[in-house]
Structure 1
């Protein structure tokens, strides 16, 4: 192998290492689409009340586990804030009750008035 080839191999190896480290340092962000898809089984309860479906609590718990960084928790917060901003007071009340009914303790309250920038 000549010097140019050796140098090229070294540059490619460094670029691959940097991209792998960069990818590991920035976990994927949870989108509002992810939130609404995961919580879709909860919509009936949020809109009408009644009994919380089991698959709703599975979604709540799954989303809770996925929101394992401050950035992801803020993304979930922003989505829930947006959704509750146009919801009826009864729907907001039902949404607020979901974490507790599913055995999850959120680091923020589900409300249209939340400041998601303060969520850590």
Structure 2
């Protein structure tokens, strides 16, 4: 039952992100890609604990494909939009995730981040 809820949530988030990605038309990165790479992180983002290896693989992969300013802005916007729809999301866990996976991103993961200023 939990697996189907996560799958349903992931599907809904992907749809929302695809719809929102039209505002980031210059980016080659899609919200579907962002969500797909971060889906293995959902349990950590809700409950903390050890970060699953698949989560860090996704975070590192996302960092590797988000090389341009439009791609980084898209990733930021997609994460913010997706986070708003995840019940139980713990913002401190989300903010700590890049560092725990050995990734340095040029902005803070927060609902207050202005993604248009991400370079």
Equivalents in 2 of 1:90, 1:33: separation in Å? 19
Question: Which sections of structure 2, spanning at least 5 residues, go unmatched?
Answer: 1-25
CA contact (8 A) 2:27 2:74 kept: no
Q: Which digits, 9 at most, give the CA deviation of each residue in 1:41-64, with x for residues without a partner?
A: 111100111100011101000000
Equivalents in 1 of 2:84, 2:66: separation in Å? 21
Aligned to 1:79: 78
Aligned to 1:50: 49
Aligned to 2:91: 92
- Larger gyration radius, structure 1 or structure 2: 1
Equivalents in 1 of 2:114, 2:44: separation in Å? 25
Aligned to 1:103, what secondary structure does the other structure show?
A: coil
What does 1:1-120 align with in structure 2 at a 5 Å threshold?
29-87=28-86, 91-120=90-119
CA contact (8 A) 1:84 1:111 kept: no
Query: TM-score of the superposition, structure 2-length normalised?
Result: 0.72
Equivalents in 1 of 2:65, 2:59: separation in Å? 10
Count of matched residue pairs: 94
CA contact (8 A) 1:64 1:104 kept: yes
Aligned to 1:114, what secondary structure does the other structure show?
A: coil
Classify 1:97/1:78 alpha carbon distance in 2 versus 1 (closer, same or farther; 3 Å): same
Query: TM-score of the superposition, structure 1-length normalised?
Result: 0.71
CA contact (8 A) 2:39 2:55 kept: yes
Query: Which of structure 1's runs of 4+ aligned residues deviate more than 6 A?
Result: none
Classify 1:96/1:89 alpha carbon distance in 2 versus 1 (closer, same or farther; 3 Å): farther
